């Protein structure tokens, strides 16, 4: 059962990664400013692609990575945040 759940999570991140080009960078920026930027400096994501950042956020939201704050974001919101962080970190 847990294994199946993990597979679904992995499949969902793959889907979100392919949809990353449709991500809304401005919407991601709003979420980051409201929720994440108190603790995260975007330079930490330097060299990472939106798909890599998206996968990391999925792990945090799924509770697989220790995180000081419980995150509740939809797949679309995670893709938006990943697109925003990648765009500010790599420019
Ligand atoms: C209360 C402070 C705090 C807030 C708010 C916060 N984070 Fe974090 N986050 C951390 C800390 C501390 C870590 C672990 C150290 C690190 O990797 O920076 C972490 C780790 C992560 C990681 C894993 C990084 C890695 O390389 O494994 C991701 C992804 C992440 N946070 C995403 C987010 C997102 C997205 C938001 C906003 C929706 C957010 N965080 C809000 C403190 C915070």
CA of 56 to the centre of ligand 1 (A): 9
What span, in angstroms and rounded, lies between the C-alpha atoms of 71 and 69? 6
- What single string gives the DSSP state of each residue in 16-81? HHHGGGG--HHHHHHHIIIIITTT--GGGGTT--HHHHHHHHHHHHTT-S--SS-----HHHHHHH
Give pTM, 2 decimals: 0.82
16 pLDDT band, cuts 50/70/90, is low
State if residue 1 touches ligand 1 by the CB under 6 angstroms criterion. no
Tell me the two tokens of residue 71. 């995150």
The arithmetic mean of pLDDT across residues 45-62, rounded, is: 97
What span, in angstroms and rounded, lies between the C-alpha atoms of 91 and 79? 18
CA of 26 to the centre of ligand 1 (A): 20
Mean predicted lDDT score pLDDT of the chain: 86
Tell me the two tokens of residue 60. 């945090």
Predicted local confidence at residue 30, as pLDDT:
98
CA of 39 to the centre of ligand 1 (A): 7
91 pLDDT band, cuts 50/70/90, is confident
């Amino acid at each position: 059962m847990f294994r199946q759940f993990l597979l679904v999570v992995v499949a969902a991140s793959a889907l979100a990664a392919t949809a990353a080009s449709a991500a809304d960078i401005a919407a991601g920026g709003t979420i980051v400013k409201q929720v994440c930027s108190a603790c995260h400096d975007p330079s930490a994501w330097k060299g990472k692609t939106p798909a890599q950042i998206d996968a990391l956020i999925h792990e945090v939201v799924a509770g697989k990575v220790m995180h000081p704050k419980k995150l509740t974001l939809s797949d679309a919101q995670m893709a938006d945040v990943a697109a925003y962080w990648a765009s500010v970190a790599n420019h």
